[in-house]
Amino acid sequence: MILARTLWLLLAFACLVFGPVVFFYGLSWGLAAVIVCLLLMLCWHLLHLRQLMGWLEGPLDNPLPRGRGVWEIAFAGLHRRVRVRLDQQQSLSETLKRFMRAFEALPDGVIAYDRHRHIDWINERAETHFALSAATDRGQALTNLIRHPDFVSYLDSGSYVEPLIYRGGRVDGMTLMLQIIPYGNDQNLLVSRDISQIERTETMRRDFIANVSHELKTPLTVVAGFSEMLSDDYEAYGEAEIKHYLALICEQNARMKRLIEDLLTLSALESGGLAQNEERVEMAPTLNSILAEVRALSAGRHQITLTVETPSVLGGCANELRSAFSNLAGNAVRYTPPGGRIDLIWREYQGFGEFVVADSGIGIAAQHLPRLTERFYRVDRSRSRETGGTGLGLAIVKHVLTRHHATLEIESEPGKGSRFTARFPGRCFRD
């Protein structure tokens, strides 16, 4: 196309300039005219070339200069190529952005690093896992930033089939599961997953099994010991002795029964969501029956009162609420020395329904308060056992209250007494 145009131009020039000048003024004027024309053409081309150079040196999105003649064709071709390249670039950068967004959305941390272990890229989750900053740490050597010996030797091992469980990193209390995935040309991905919660749950499960085994071991040993003793040589013991041993066996059996009942209650509470059983639970009769129960437990050793300020009705599971209230009131009896005072109060206060159990008992030191509702947590293990405790009472209370959208507040002072308040929000009330 350009060649054809140039040939046409030369032909036109010969016909319009060179021919007439030679014809009228002779050959030498003709040649002079050719030279002038060639010089003019050269200038014209140099002018376009300068425009092209200016465009090439400018930014990529600079508009192409407008040309004439063959330059118009050349510029149009260039323009087309630039547009195609820009489109390709834009679609590539959009794909890249989509990948970046996908990496950012991953629940795992991802660090991409090269053969020299220099960080290419970090997602937000990895920044949190390793306390790094993409802005300042990109390009840094991974082992300069994460120097833990376990991590460095895992990296050096070159064998990444098994993940590394990484504790004691820069973030306190966080346990990570790390896996290195080699890809491409000596590139690697370091993938990190926060398994702190899984590990905590696993520790809790192990502790729970150890606690249950420990709780069952003592009564089982007593029962097994006395049963064997009696069955081996029954005649060797007098009637009074036998009665005493049988009473001890019954006592330990009762303890195991209580423990198993509490464990079953707790397990049922934990496997359910919110309380499904939307019964009408009338506070006045419920608390009156609990008063009778704790008076029987106290056997006249304490002064126990019940005040129902408002005869409210709660919506929920009657059995669960009864068990929670009875646990709180029972604890007051068990941890209040004889002669002490126990007040059970139901009231409506600032839109909430409150069941308060206040005692003048032994009280609890402040450092124990946050842990009281943990399973098997006791301030004084032997006192709890002596009074028939399983260490699960407050854990059951906490679960029941949570299932009823309620909270438990504990105030206590050693030697002065305790005040447990179960607080129910307005939505728990029924007409």
Q: Please, which residue, 252 or 390, has the CB nearer to ligand ADP?
A: 390
Nearer to ligand ADP, 48 or 398 (CB): 398
Are 358 and 340 a contacting pair, CB within 8 Å? no
Please state, in angstroms and rounded to a whole number, the distance separating the CA atoms of residues 320 and 266: 11
What is the size of the binding site for ligand ADP (CB under 6 A)?
22
Closest to ligand ADP by CB, 238 vs 415, is 415
Q: How far is the CB of 389 from ligand ADP (least distance, A)?
A: 3
CB of 356 to ligand ADP, least distance (A): 12
Complex with ligand ADP: residue 122 or 332, whichever CB lies closer: 332
Nearest CB to ligand ADP, comparing residues 21 and 372: 372
Helix or strand run (H / E) with residue 191: strand 187-194
C-beta closer to ligand ADP: residue 114 or 343 = 343
The alpha carbon torsion through 22, 24, 26, 29 (nearest 10 deg) reads: -70
Return the range that interacts with ligand ADP (CB under 6 A); candidates 174-182, 196-204, 267-275, 391-399: 391-399
Least distance from C-beta 400 to ligand ADP, angstroms?
A: 13
Contact 175, 166 (CB under 8 A): yes
What tokens does 165 get? 């469980």
Please tell me whether residue 97 adopts helix, strand or coil conformation: helix
Using DSSP, state whether 343 is helix, strand or coil: strand
Q: Is 384 among the residues that bind ligand ADP (CB under 6 A)?
A: yes
Residues 362-381 that bind ligand ADP (CB under 6 A): 362, 364, 372, 377-380
Q: Shortest gap between Cβ of 218 and ligand ADP (angstroms)?
A: 14
Indicate the residue among 286 and 418 with the shorter CB distance to ligand ADP: 418
Q: Per CB under 6 A, does 21 bind ligand ADP? A: no
User: Residue 342 corresponds to which tokens in the numbers above?
Assistant: 């126990």
Nearest CB to ligand ADP, comparing residues 283 and 395: 395
CA 153 to chain centre: 28
Binding of residue 418 to ligand ADP (CB under 6 A): yes
Does residue 259 touch ligand ADP according to CB under 6 A? no
Residue 379 C-beta: closest distance to ligand ADP, Å: 3
Q: Which of 313, 352, 308, 332 is nearest to 394 (CA)?
A: 332
Smallest separation, CB 335 to ligand ADP (Å): 3
Q: How far is the CB of 296 from ligand ADP (least distance, A)?
A: 18
Distance (Å, whole) CA 231 – CA 353: 56
Q: Three-state DSSP class for 197?
A: helix
Nearer to ligand ADP, 283 or 392 (CB): 392
Nearest residue to 354 via CA among 392, 310, 417, 396: 310
- Of 263, 390, 399, 406, which lies in the binding site for ligand ADP, with binding defined by CB under 6 A? 390
Q: Which of residues 302-361 bind ligand ADP (CB under 6 A)?
A: 327, 331-332, 335, 359, 361
Three-state secondary-structure class, residue 83:
helix
Nearest to 418, CA basis, from 302, 294, 292, 331: 331
Question: Which of 281, 324, 391, 399 lies at the binding interface for ligand ADP (CB under 6 A)?
Answer: 391
Is the CB of 71 or the CB of 355 nearer to ligand ADP?
355
At residue 61, φ and ψ (nearest 5 deg) are -90, 10
In the complex, minimum distance from the CB of residue 377 to ligand ADP, in angstroms, rounded to a whole number? 6
Q: What is the DSSP string of 352-408?
A: EEEEEEEE-SS---GGGGGGTTSTT--SSHHHHHHTT--S-HHHHHHHHHHHTT-EE
394 near ligand ADP, judged by CB under 6 A: yes
> What whole-number distance in Å separates Cα of residue 200 and Cα of residue 175?
10
Q: Say whether residue 137 binds ligand ADP (CB under 6 A).
A: no
At 353, list the tokens.
Answer: 């329904």
Q: Report, in Å, the least distance between residue 374 CB and ligand ADP.
A: 8
Distance CA 396, CA 177 (A): 34
Q: What does each C-alpha distance from 15 to 20, 31, 34, 43 come to in angstroms?
A: 7, 14, 12, 22
Q: Which is nearer to ligand ADP, 195 or 364 (CB)?
A: 364
Residue 175 binds to ligand ADP (criterion: CB under 6 A): no
> For residues 213-242, which are near ligand ADP according to CB under 6 A?
none
What residues make contact with ligand ADP under the rule CB under 6 A? 327, 331-332, 335, 359, 361-362, 364, 372, 377-380, 384, 389-395, 418
